[in-house]
Amino acid sequence: MNVPFLPNNPEKIVEADRAHVWHHLIQHKPFETIDPRIIVEGKGIHVWDIKGKEHLDGVSGGVWTVNVGYGRERIADAVRDQLVKLNYFAGSAGSIPGAQFSEKLIEKMPGMSRVYFANSGSEANEKGFKMVRQIAHKRYGGKKHKILYRERDYHGTTIATLSAGGQEERNAQYGPFTPGFVPVPHCLEYRGADQNLPDGESYGIRAARAIEEVILREGPDTVGALCLEPITAGGGVITPPEGYWETVQEICKKYDILLHIDEVVCGVGRTGTWFGYQNYDIKPDIVTMAKGVASGYAAISCCVTTEAVFDMFKDDASDPMGYFRDISTFGGCTAGPAAALENMAIIEEEGLLQNTVDMGAYFFGKLEELADKHTCIGDVRGKGLFLGAELVKDRDTREALDEKMVQAVVGDCMAQGVIIGATNRSLPGLNNTLCFSPALIANKDNLDHLADAVDQALTRVVG
Ligand code: PMP
């Protein structure tokens, strides 16, 4: 395909980038001898770099974001139409696309009611944490303020969200952290099922009961919320085991603890349902979302609550401190909800939830075929088009494959023009997991191509 946006001065751009851009998530020393990667164009599920090379994007923009694929003119048109009418207004005012998108979103989330706009996943999660803290102050004299988070989950990059972060590698150098965040054990059956289970108890129920043990140790009257990813993303694509969610829900109810579900990755179609929690029998109190909300066409995130949570901030109108004393300046950008509205319409009109279910099952099967051939694949996990393959040195001992080899697999795919991801890269000994999350428009040809690249890479790198 033609790449119309290729610049005529690529070397100059690469040099400007090398001289001045501080890229996310990467050690820059190698850029002294190799060029930084610059992506210039995308169409559907493919992107082109500044050298004109085509890549099949197996991770939707690097981090599970571009759910409806690249080059969607109707989203660009909707954003443009809105921007020329009104680009921004904030403070306590609303907007037309904000109201329309909220209505449409809530239609897809039975039981939920109110949408609070922000810009990033971290920020949406912080809004949720602040709501929990304020409820603790309003209702419980500040006592019920602790927020539980789970090992291997991630909720964002700010100091408060890192304080709720269960991935050691991301936290190691950024303490001291914010008090009041307490970890609960992970639920990765592949690496936890060897514990002695009482008769008749499944690993899922045990993993959920471990949360209850933390609540009892901390004191239920001090715990305000439990914040969990429905399926852990960056921590290794961890699908909660049977029985887990039902028990978690029951525990939250029993101790009057708000359930905050972080849908930043799973939200808006990624797992084949509108939201990841809808795969399970869960009734959350707070749901946060970001990446797929507008597929990266505009920066938008949302913290969605039930009417019951909202009411706690509305009912005492006589209290000047009673309302949610929070603002996000760019929560007033109208491009976000305008893009998000169109993004949802595309998912509905093109039947992308069903495609995600069908293509997710197809690719899961492909990964299982690869596992039959390559003994370094220890476990295949995930839901919809959100899948992972954990790599091990030895299937019996489950010792993790060296992270340099995992990176070499990713690098080999990249050289073949196929972008995949890997989680927990700098934590040797933990789950080094290849990660796949193509756009929800993926078809069998795309997925065959993806699986073939991984097959070749595993053969070359691991043998
Ligand atoms: N929650 C989860 C589950 C995430 O994966 C991420 C980002 N990878 C975040 C929150 C933070 O989102 P953001 O980078 O937009 O702040």
Counting ligand 1 atoms within 8 A of each CB, the residue from 25, 129, 154, 229 with the most, and so the one to mutate, is 154
CB burial of residue 397 (10 Å; 0-12, 13-18, 19+) = exposed
Centre of ligand 1 from the C-alpha of residue 157, in Å: 7
Counting ligand 1 atoms within 8 A of each CB, the residue from 129, 150, 155 with the most, and so the one to mutate, is 155
Using CA atoms, how far residue 445 sits from 59, 389, 419, 440, 450, in Å, is 16, 20, 15, 14, 9
**Residue located nearest, by CA, to atom 7 of ligand 1:** 156
For the whole prediction, is pTM greater than 0.90?
Answer: yes
Centre of ligand 1 from the C-alpha of residue 155, in Å: 6
**Residue located nearest, by CA, to atom 5 of ligand 1:** 265
Centre of ligand 1 from the C-alpha of residue 264, in Å: 6
Centre of ligand 1 from the C-alpha of residue 10, in Å: 31
**Residue located nearest, by CA, to atom 1 of ligand 1:** 155
Among 128, 118, 115, 130, smallest CA distance to 331 is for 118
Centre of ligand 1 from the C-alpha of residue 122, in Å: 6
Centre of ligand 1 from the C-alpha of residue 123, in Å: 9
Given the CA of residue 123, which atom of ligand 1 is nearest to it? Answer: 16
Global ipTM = 0.99
Q: H/E/C letters for each residue in the chain?
A: CCCCCCCCCHHHHHHHHHHHCCCCCCCCHHHHCCCCCCEEEEEECEEEECCCCEEEECCHHHHHCCCCCECCHHHHHHHHHHHHHCCECCCCCCCHHHHHHHHHHHHCCCCCCEEEEECCHHHHHHHHHHHHHHHHHHHHCCCCCEEEEECCCCCCCCHHHHHCCCCHHHHCCCCCCCCCEEEECCCCHHHCCCCCCCCCCCHHHHHHHHHHHHHHHHCHHHEEEEEECCCECCCCCECCCCCHHHHHHHHHHHCCCEEEEECCCCCCCCCCCCCHHHHCCCCCCEEEECHHHCCCCCCCEEEEECHHHHHHHHCCCCCCCCCCCCCCHHHHECHHHHHHHHHHHHHHHCCHHHHHHHHHHHHHHHHHHHHHHCCCEEEEEEECCEEEEEEECCCCCCCECCHHHHHHHHHHHHHCCEECEEECCCCCCCCCEEEECCCCCCCHHHHHHHHHHHHHHHHHHCC
Centre of ligand 1 from the C-alpha of residue 156, in Å: 5
**Residue 123 near residue 301 (C-beta atoms within 8 A):** yes
Could you identify the residue written with the tokens 């680009």? 87
Centre of ligand 1 from the C-alpha of residue 225, in Å: 19
Taking phi first (over 0 means left), then psi (-120 to 50 degrees means alpha), and beta for anything else, what does residue 141 get? left
One digit per residue, the tens of pLDDT, for the chain of length 463 reads 667 788 889 999 999 999 999 999 899 999 999 999 999 999 999 999 999 999 999 999 999 999 999 999 999 999 999 999 999 999 899 999 999 999 999 999 999 999 999 999 999 999 999 999 999 999 999 999 999 999 999 999 999 999 999 998 889 899 999 999 999 999 999 988 666 677 678 999 999 999 999 999 999 999 999 999 999 999 999 999 999 999 999 999 999 999 999 999 999 999 999 999 999 989 999 999 999 999 999 999 999 999 999 999 987 778 877 899 999 999 999 999 999 999 999 999 999 999 999 999 999 999 999 999 999 999 999 999 999 999 999 999 998 898 889 999 999 999 999 999 998 655 555 669 999 999 999 999 999 999 999 999 999 999 9
Centre of ligand 1 from the C-alpha of residue 154, in Å: 7
Centre of ligand 1 from the C-alpha of residue 424, in Å: 15
Given the CA of residue 229, which atom of ligand 1 is nearest to it? Answer: 3
Centre of ligand 1 from the C-alpha of residue 36, in Å: 24
Pairwise CA distance, residues 292 & 77, whole Å: 18
Given the CA of residue 119, which atom of ligand 1 is nearest to it? Answer: 15
* Structural domains of the chain sorted by starting position, each given as residue range(s) with its CATH number in brackets: 10-68+351-461 (3.90.1150.10), 74-349 (3.40.640.10)
- Rounded to 5 degrees, what angle do the CA atoms 429, 434, 438 make? 155
Counting ligand 1 atoms within 8 A of each CB, the residue from 24, 122, 277, 301 with the most, and so the one to mutate, is 122
Given the CA of residue 234, which atom of ligand 1 is nearest to it? Answer: 5
Pairwise CA distance, residues 398 & 59, whole Å: 26
Pocket of ligand 1 (CB under 6 A): 63, 120-122, 125, 154-157, 229, 233-234, 262, 264-265, 290
Counting ligand 1 atoms within 8 A of each CB, the residue from 264, 330, 425 with the most, and so the one to mutate, is 264
Taking phi first (over 0 means left), then psi (-120 to 50 degrees means alpha), and beta for anything else, what does residue 78 get? alpha
